Structure 1
């Protein structure tokens, strides 16, 4: 991707100290908003678990009586009888799996996992994480009469996993979170399928025909022009009831529905139309314009993302704590604890979850990496993956559910629940230790002193010879005036070094400061598809005050791009993934201001005028030849 650098700004006058640049650190409130939900959810789960255990041990009769309360819902002769416990496990948890399915659907459609090579790794790891724990469980539990309960150890608890990662995870855990979330959901789908195949007492295939018709209806509802909400709701209830009537665990209906809900990136023309309606409403306020503007704004966002925003708080703060309260009531009498300590069933569960999950997940990932199969993305080192693999041993939701399905004896059930809780605690502690060791090993990398991802000429936009001995990588933002000034410095450095430098631009859009920065970066990548990356970037820098969606499309037309193809590329997952990869790198290296330069792979601090950059190139030159190149450039600059 070697390109010709075009002068955009003024050369050599960019001497502002780093602290004066555009980006600010996120406020405490913003950090709480972005990270707090997972932590609060995990905390609520822990509190609910503790309350359930205390309640079951202090007043076991009232605990059992409450959750076995019979409920009846129906009209006339059509009634549905279930317990309060079943309401939580079968109905409310279907909503939880629905929201998880929505997020994974988004990741596979327009997110981190759009690339099959990258999606392959968590899928394989999830499958290995199902098979290996089950094999270890059956090996240890052989002869106990409980071998059929192997399903207890197959599943990772998604809610606890994400919450624990937010609490004890390594610094810059964005890619690890996406990897583990994708793995956990594939794991959940596999676990629910196993429940349907191996732990369903009575199976009736006829209702699944109704479910299939309902799912087809869910898919085609996207083409209904308006009023889709009630249709989705009605079809979802029908599908859930059909799964329930078939004997298949109805929570699987939530995942199936979520995978069919449409997800897409906002269309620039739709966004612009929504803005025009909003301006019209501001000029002539009335209910009709208000309705049109609100509908247009809502429709510019995909149903998938709207549903995620609507249901996420209820899932995090209500549904998951209720599930923990209803299922974690383990009786911990001295007799049960003593029996659990010597029970092969308990230790089979502990070994299956802690050892089996680690061997299955980490072993498969290590093998894929060894044979160069799939793509993990930068920053996912083996030690961090090891911590994530151990964290997958937190089994709770499906594990406790299968305990009730697979084990009939009350004493054995309590021993199994003890095993699940002990394994989850061990996994949490071991993962915390591994992550702390990993952070200690990667101190320099995490502090952003070393370039996280080496330059790749097949992917990066490179100006100058791809094999040049000297390298500058800039992380920047097209709305940042300091990046505009820095472009002149880069032009002067390249002129002085005359073919001995390669320069790479990567995206670090300041979303909180520049609301259009991400759209600008994606527009540049879309223009690059048609070979006009430099020209488009220059046009953005030349007019930083006009970068709305209509301005982006106008620029594409002025530059002679195929506008229809340009718009299509703007919405493509490949373009979004390129920008997001750079942003995740910037986050991993704690880049909080732009422009940020890496000179020969090392972070540059201080002024970024041409002479300062050349001196930094000389000081960090990788070999004697490169040092001479930089020194010659310095001497040439001084003579001038």
Structure 2
């Protein structure tokens, strides 16, 4: 998630205005960061508990998880151990949430555009190959080369949790990069589980699974009662995968990829708001039910399911998995065997060294060759810390240990390697991030514009070779930004062609519920060449920026309204606004409006006279920060 904090706006006399607005982080608003942090700690505690139990429980650990369960109706019977119930059934829910995230990222997230996705995708793929090659090379003397899948995958839960605990001060851009990388990493790991570690394949049940998946796809067209239908079909598909010999956890992924995902439709959101107002005016159970259903339906099933399952996965399923799989007996003999085991060292070096070389090495080469898009704040030292964190392969690594290795002694050696690699990766990443933060001290952070002005991307008045440059980060519902727009107009009248002015987005989403929608709407208008007209319209009526107001403004400006509404749902529009917000976070922008004058942060009043004096006092000698290409979107 992005983390952009917007504090009170400076007043005309400098400092912070007491009338200004404070912006809590987006991550704080949705609680995702807190859940991931707590989930990582729960995972860590469950791992420690499993190791203590296995070593102090006098054999009760193994006997408990080997407890047999039998479920049956008539002649239909299923037998499970508790260990298999966790690994085959509960983990199917975990892989289901992974599949939901994969589906979302490819539909409306970071992986919708190849130019944006190139860096994390290439880094993820190389980060799969290099660890596997190192493992095969080092573990060959053990005779367990087939277990190379143990070192290919990063534990997303631990990765994000560890980033929240020890990551850099401004992790937003790095976090987006690592999450996109983790999605591709998960796709690779799941494909390898399906293709390499599936045994005793029986095709007929898989045909039943395919029929069930087709039915799941068409369930989206039911007008009501979709929940029970989805649940019933999901159970059938899971049982069919189990009977086919394909690992049943992959049923969760297959189902998730068929669950629809879309950005909220503005008209649906407004309809839900109207129903909520109706319920407020005349509260009764019928209006409450209709309003609640309308609000729920305005959000895609994919995102509703992610929100519903995320707490259970983070706080129950993954800790249970760790408790059932991390119980390594750490006797002197086992540790001595692990220290000299080619298998253990293959796992440690594959995860810690292989992941770092694959992820960081490929990213560094792409940055050197200027291939792909590296956003502001995604520096090589921060990528290095993230690449080291990718060596935490815990969940899927332990999962594949059971699939790839039959010998219990070798399984113990591999588990010791996984646990050791996770601890080593966490410790090294902590050191790398602390060094990175020292290299970017607080007093320097945010003083320089991190993303140079690009006329092909930015909304700009003036020419690329203008003597002076003003970049503003603002919010269309912020009254201070509205007043600042008048000051900017006076500055333009005074300086004329000597001034280049650029607007970028930093919406105050906690104080202004429609600010993000306004920013995205302006980007949809920009796709039709009408950004500045739309900006003036938004500033002229800051109190009325509901979806219907936004569409009405588009019609008044003569835009192609059907195209405008389609563009509002596009990933391109959302990505542009999100990038501006991530840039603001990388620079520590904590108030709006915030101005950068000739690439340096402006501190003090922002009336026209003060801005003109600051521009003339600034050294205009450095070359312009923008390319000489005219903007097609200005």
Instruction: Bin the TM-score by the shorter chain.
Output: over 0.9
CA distance in 2, matches of 1:194, 1:218: 24
Q: Secondary structure at the match of 1:474?
A: strand
> Within 5 A, what are the aligned runs for 1:129-168?
129-168=127-166
Q: Is the 8 A contact 1:146 1:345 kept in 2?
A: yes
CA distance in 2, matches of 1:620, 1:553: 41
Which residue number corresponds to residue 630 of structure 2? Answer: none
Q: Is the 8 A contact 1:14 1:489 kept in 2?
A: no
Superposed displacement of residue 625, structure 1: 9.9
Which residue number corresponds to residue 507 of structure 1? Answer: 505
Superposed displacement of residue 60, structure 1: 4.3
> Within 5 A, what are the aligned runs for 1:465-504?
465-504=463-502
Which residue number corresponds to residue 541 of structure 1? Answer: 539
Q: Is the 8 A contact 2:23 2:510 kept in 1?
A: no
Superposed displacement of residue 624, structure 1: 8.1
Which residue number corresponds to residue 433 of structure 2? Answer: 435
> Within 5 A, what are the aligned runs for 1:388-407?
388-407=386-405
Is 2:50 aligned against 1:65?
Answer: no
Which residue number corresponds to residue 352 of structure 1? Answer: 350
Which residue number corresponds to residue 592 of structure 2? Answer: 594
Which residue number corresponds to residue 78 of structure 1? Answer: 76
CA distance in 2, matches of 1:317, 1:551: 42
CA distance in 2, matches of 1:384, 1:220: 44
CA distance in 2, matches of 1:536, 1:437: 44
CA distance in 2, matches of 1:184, 1:171: 21
Superposed displacement of residue 454, structure 1: 0.9
Superposed displacement of residue 368, structure 1: 2.7
**Aligned match of 2:523 in 481, 501, 525?**
525
Q: Secondary structure at the match of 1:439?
A: helix
CA distance in 1, matches of 2:555, 2:540: 16
**Aligned match of 2:380 in 382, 401, 404?**
382
Q: Is the 8 A contact 1:100 1:255 kept in 2?
A: yes
CA distance in 2, matches of 1:483, 1:14: 12
**Aligned match of 1:243 in 241, 244, 251?**
241
Q: Is the 8 A contact 2:469 2:501 kept in 1?
A: yes
Q: Secondary structure at the match of 1:540?
A: helix
Q: Is the 8 A contact 1:472 1:504 kept in 2?
A: yes
Q: Is the 8 A contact 2:491 2:608 kept in 1?
A: yes
Q: Is the 8 A contact 1:368 1:374 kept in 2?
A: yes
Q: Is the 8 A contact 1:171 1:446 kept in 2?
A: no
User: How large is the Cα RMSD of the aligned pairs?
Assistant: 2.1
> Within 5 A, what are the aligned runs for 1:186-585?
186-443=184-441, 447-585=445-583
Superposed displacement of residue 619, structure 1: 3.1
Q: Is the 8 A contact 1:475 1:596 kept in 2?
A: yes
Q: Secondary structure at the match of 2:345?
A: helix
CA distance in 2, matches of 1:619, 1:260: 59
| Structure 1 residues 514 and 32, CA gap change in structure 2 (3 angstroms) | closer
CA distance in 1, matches of 2:596, 2:513: 25
| Structure 1 residues 487 and 418, CA gap change in structure 2 (3 angstroms) | same
Deviation track 1:165-198 (CA, whole Å, cap 9, x = no partner) reads 1111112212222221222232222222222322
Which residue number corresponds to residue 6 of structure 2? Answer: none
CA distance in 2, matches of 1:487, 1:394: 48
| Structure 1 residues 569 and 625, CA gap change in structure 2 (3 angstroms) | closer
Superposed displacement of residue 234, structure 1: 1.6
Could you tell me which runs of 5 or more consecutive residues in structure 2 were left unpaired when the two chains were aligned: 1-10, 625-634
Q: Is the 8 A contact 1:69 1:84 kept in 2?
A: yes
Q: Secondary structure at the match of 1:221?
A: helix
| Structure 1 residues 527 and 185, CA gap change in structure 2 (3 angstroms) | closer
Q: Is the 8 A contact 2:141 2:342 kept in 1?
A: no
Superposed displacement of residue 145, structure 1: 1.5
Superposed displacement of residue 446, structure 1: 7.3
Q: Secondary structure at the match of 2:141?
A: coil
Q: Is the 8 A contact 2:208 2:237 kept in 1?
A: yes
Superposed displacement of residue 199, structure 1: 2.2
| Structure 1 residues 603 and 34, CA gap change in structure 2 (3 angstroms) | farther
Superposed displacement of residue 271, structure 1: 1.4
CA distance in 1, matches of 2:551, 2:496: 36
Superposed displacement of residue 289, structure 1: 2.0
Q: How many residues align?
A: 615
CA distance in 2, matches of 1:280, 1:354: 58
Q: Secondary structure at the match of 2:80?
A: strand
Which residue number corresponds to residue 96 of structure 1? Answer: 94
Deviation track 1:379-403 (CA, whole Å, cap 9, x = no partner) reads 2111111111111111111211222
CA distance in 1, matches of 2:528, 2:335: 67
| Structure 1 residues 226 and 318, CA gap change in structure 2 (3 angstroms) | same
**Aligned match of 2:119 in 118, 121, 125?**
121
CA distance in 2, matches of 1:488, 1:14: 13
Superposed displacement of residue 377, structure 1: 2.5
Deviation track 1:418-475 (CA, whole Å, cap 9, x = no partner) reads 1111111111111111111112222359732111211111000000112212211000
| Structure 1 residues 457 and 29, CA gap change in structure 2 (3 angstroms) | closer
Q: Secondary structure at the match of 2:497?
A: coil
Deviation track 1:564-594 (CA, whole Å, cap 9, x = no partner) reads 1111111111111111111111122222211
| Structure 1 residues 32 and 559, CA gap change in structure 2 (3 angstroms) | closer
| Structure 1 residues 369 and 60, CA gap change in structure 2 (3 angstroms) | farther
Q: Secondary structure at the match of 2:469?
A: strand
CA distance in 2, matches of 1:345, 1:311: 36
Deviation track 1:212-269 (CA, whole Å, cap 9, x = no partner) reads 2222222222222222111211221122222222212222222222222111111111
Superposed displacement of residue 27, structure 1: 8.8
| Structure 1 residues 85 and 625, CA gap change in structure 2 (3 angstroms) | closer
CA distance in 2, matches of 1:168, 1:52: 24
Q: Is the 8 A contact 2:142 2:341 kept in 1?
A: no
Could you tell me which runs of 5 or more consecutive residues in structure 1 were left unpaired when the two chains were aligned: 1-12, 627-640
